[in-house]
Structure 1
């Protein structure tokens, strides 16, 4: 199981020997690190700021090859070089953001808006009728390339792709755990709303 877990985490930075088409060459392995330099810290959202040591930024600049499926002004979609299933693909923003939290909402919205269009094409091309939409956000969640990306993973019946599918879920404690959790999440949402409102009011005052 541990070997499988490591294989999943390293799915697109540790390619094995695979045949390449005539016109395209798979993305080579990269030592992409945390994804931000001294000029960019987590939470920064400078559009157009690409990193020298990020494999996805190299693909965007045309310095590293990829199996490109789709591209527009905001994002592109490429095949994962070591896929979990046939057609496993990645949607990547064309600006460097080290985490989902650091990615501006309009960029996230633009990426997600393409999911139905791209996933439909992938499922038809792979004869699949289902897919997983996955974001590994943070080290504990298995993120190994610190450039925001969304996985589209085609699925077929009984493919048993995830080991966790055979595990039983623990029922939520409705008497104690759930109410406390709801209160804490709502509190954080309220604080976030207040912060956003303050920013908006500051912008309005500055504009006047």
Structure 2
């Protein structure tokens, strides 16, 4: 049995709690299959997380249909982020299992607007100011409309 099959989905992970509205988030997009919200410890302005509403630990156990919805929403967010943040490019990241760098065990894709010559901040290096997150959410939402 592969190692990833030994781990059950934890319904108390932070993203599951966000989906149940037990924890707040700066939501920028939602449909019946996915939720996209700003990372509170962004590596770049506009750093957004796209998650399935389905219970999926990571890419190893998500259904193909749920993964497709996450991919489609990630593209939608990426296009909006290019506009909202006048970005030169986009970095997408997805980590699966601890050895792969995963910290929160609910599938999520990081969508990070990039600017030429500006490095990403180190992961979890600082918590962003709430006002900045609100402003960035407003920019992304406007670009999605």
Task: Tell me by how many angstroms 1:41 deviates.
Answer: 5.8
- The answer (yes or no) to whether the contact 1:43–1:101 under 8 Å persists in 2 is no
Residue 9 (structure 1) aligns with: none
C-alpha separation in 2, matches of 1:137 and 1:41:
14
Q: CA 1:82–1:162 in 2, change beyond 3 Å: closer, same or farther?
A: closer
Task: List per-residue Cα deviations over 1:70-91 (Å, max 9, x = no partner).
Answer: 0011111000000000000000
Aligned match of 1:156: 115
- Between Structure 1 and Structure 2, the one with more strand by share is 2
Matching residue of 1:77: 36
5+ long unaligned stretches in structure 2: 123-145
Alignment root-mean-square deviation, CA? 2.1
1:106 pairs with 2:65: yes
Larger radius of gyration: 1
Q: Which runs of 5+ in 1 are unaligned?
A: 1-39, 45-49, 164-208
TM-score by length of 1: 0.53
**Which runs of 4 or more aligned residues in structure 1 lie more than 6 Å from their structure 2 counterparts after TM superposition?**
none
Q: TM-score, normalised by structure 2?
A: 0.74
Pick 1 or 2: higher relative contact order, CA cutoff 8 A, min separation 6: 2
CA contact (8 A) 2:44 2:121 kept: no
